């Protein structure tokens, strides 16, 4: 998979691309991630990419030309262009599962007061990572990239994500490791007896219990995914 991220702040991605699972996936050639500064596509003095909004109002608005030119510089017939915006569809695990099937993702990071509305004519999907507003789209772009990359075949063991939280609309079951007793808190006996059938039943029950207690809304959405 190839992921191109269009941003005003390329250096924000330095640590993200050079640590942990993302770095290993890149080194194994399982994903190629490019960071593109759309200031490079500005034709104005000082590489200006924003201007005041027509009709007045607070803040600056990202201009059409540099953003669209940046998109077109990397877009192919296999591309899916994503706009990060609070107005987009909620980013959920099923969305990540769908995105991993594309050969090429282009993620556009917003900033300032927002986008010129006409930019939306050049994208395929708008995604929000939550009902809150950030200073820019870089963190959502990282979140989307991370969630999708870990699902690519070979990045992590399939068993590591097949029962993730939100898979089948359930939160993940609780996990434990050594020691079996820590300051009075004991690992459940069922996990220590080696009976894998009972362990599987316990984990499934815990998923349902935890979801009903913490996120009952997920159980109501079961038919949506």
Q: How confident is the model at residue 183 (pLDDT cuts 50, 70, 90)?
A: very high
Based on the fold, state whether residues 7 and 91 are members of the same structural domain. yes
Q: In the listed set 127, 158, 189, which residue is the last one of a domain according to the structure?
A: 158
- Domain carrying residue 130: 2-158
For 13-61, how does the pLDDT look when each residue is reduced to its tens digit (9 = 90+)?
Answer: 999 999 999 999 999 999 999 999 999 999 888 899 999 999 988 889 9
Determine whether 179 is an active site residue: no
Point out the catalytic residue in the list 50, 138, 140, 150: 150
Distance CA 135, CA 111 (A): 6
Point out the catalytic residue in the list 126, 164, 168, 172: 164
Tally helices (H) and strands (E) across the chain.
8, 10
Given a contact cutoff of 8 angstroms between Cβ atoms, the answer to whether 81 and 127 are in contact is no
Domain with 62 in it: what CATH number? Answer: 3.40.1280.10
Q: How confident is the model at residue 168 (pLDDT cuts 50, 70, 90)?
A: confident
Based on the fold, state whether residues 141 and 44 are members of the same structural domain. yes
Based on the fold, state whether residues 45 and 25 are members of the same structural domain. yes
Q: How confident is the model at residue 218 (pLDDT cuts 50, 70, 90)?
A: confident
Based on the fold, state whether residues 107 and 153 are members of the same structural domain. yes
Point out the catalytic residue in the list 10, 53, 65, 86: 86
Based on the fold, state whether residues 146 and 205 are members of the same structural domain. no
DSSP state of 190: G
Q: Which long-range contacts (CB under 8 A, 24 or more apart) does 210-217 make?
A: 210/170, 210/171, 210/172, 210/173, 210/174, 211/169, 211/170, 211/171, 214/171, 215/171
Point out the catalytic residue in the list 65, 113, 168, 172: 113
Based on the fold, state whether residues 136 and 196 are members of the same structural domain. no
Based on the fold, state whether residues 121 and 141 are members of the same structural domain. yes
For 133-163, how does the pLDDT look when each residue is reduced to its tens digit (9 = 90+)?
Answer: 999 999 999 999 999 999 999 998 776 666 6
DSSP character string of 41-104 = G--SGGG--EEPPTT--SS-EE-HHHHHHHHHHH--TTEEEEEEEEEEEE--HHHHHHHTT-SE
Based on the fold, state whether residues 106 and 183 are members of the same structural domain. no
Supply angle C-alpha 129, 62, 80, rounded to 5.
50
Based on the fold, state whether residues 180 and 106 are members of the same structural domain. no
Based on the fold, state whether residues 140 and 187 are members of the same structural domain. no
Share of the chain above pLDDT 90, in %: 80
Determine whether 150 is an active site residue: yes
Distance CA 45, CA 59 (A): 20
Q: In the listed set 102, 135, 158, which residue is the last one of a domain according to the structure?
A: 158
Based on the fold, state whether residues 119 and 34 are members of the same structural domain. yes
- Domain tally, the chain: 2
Q: In the listed set 122, 141, 158, which residue is the last one of a domain according to the structure?
A: 158
φ, ψ of residue 29 in degrees (nearest 5): 60, 30
Given a contact cutoff of 8 angstroms between Cβ atoms, the answer to whether 18 and 119 are in contact is no
pLDDT at 223: 46
pLDDT at 58: 83
Based on the fold, state whether residues 139 and 45 are members of the same structural domain. yes
Q: Nearest-CA neighbor of 174 among 152, 207, 132, 196?
A: 207
């Amino acid at each position: 998979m190839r992921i191109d991220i269009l941003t005003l702040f390329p250096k924000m991605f330095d640590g993200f691309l050079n640590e942990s699972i993302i770095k290993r996936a890149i080194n194994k050639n399982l994903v190629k991630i490019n960071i593109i500064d759309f200031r490079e596509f500005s034709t104005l003095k000082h590489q200006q990419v924003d201007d005041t909004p027509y009709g007045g109002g607070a803040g600056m608005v990202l201009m059409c030309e540099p953003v669209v030119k940046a998109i077109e510089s990397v877009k192919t017939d296999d591309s899916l262009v994503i706009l990060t915006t609070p107005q987009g569809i909620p980013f959920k695990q099923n969305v990540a599962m769908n995105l991993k099937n594309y050969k090429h993702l282009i993620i556009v990071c917003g900033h300032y007061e927002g986008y010129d509305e006409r930019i939306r004519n050049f994208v395929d999907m708008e995604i929000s990572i939550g009902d809150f507003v950030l200073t820019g789209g870089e963190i959502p772009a990282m979140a989307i990239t991370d969630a999708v990359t870990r699902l690519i075949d070979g990045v992590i063991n399939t068993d590591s994500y097949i029962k993730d939280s939100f898979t089948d609309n359930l939160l993940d079951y609780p996990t434990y490791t050594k020691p079996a007793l820590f300051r009075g808190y004991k690992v459940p006996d069922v996990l220590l007896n080696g009976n894998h059938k009972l362990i599987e039943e316990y984990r499934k029950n815990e998923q349902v219990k935890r979801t009903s207690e913490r996120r009952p809304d997920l159980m109501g959405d079961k038919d949506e995914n």
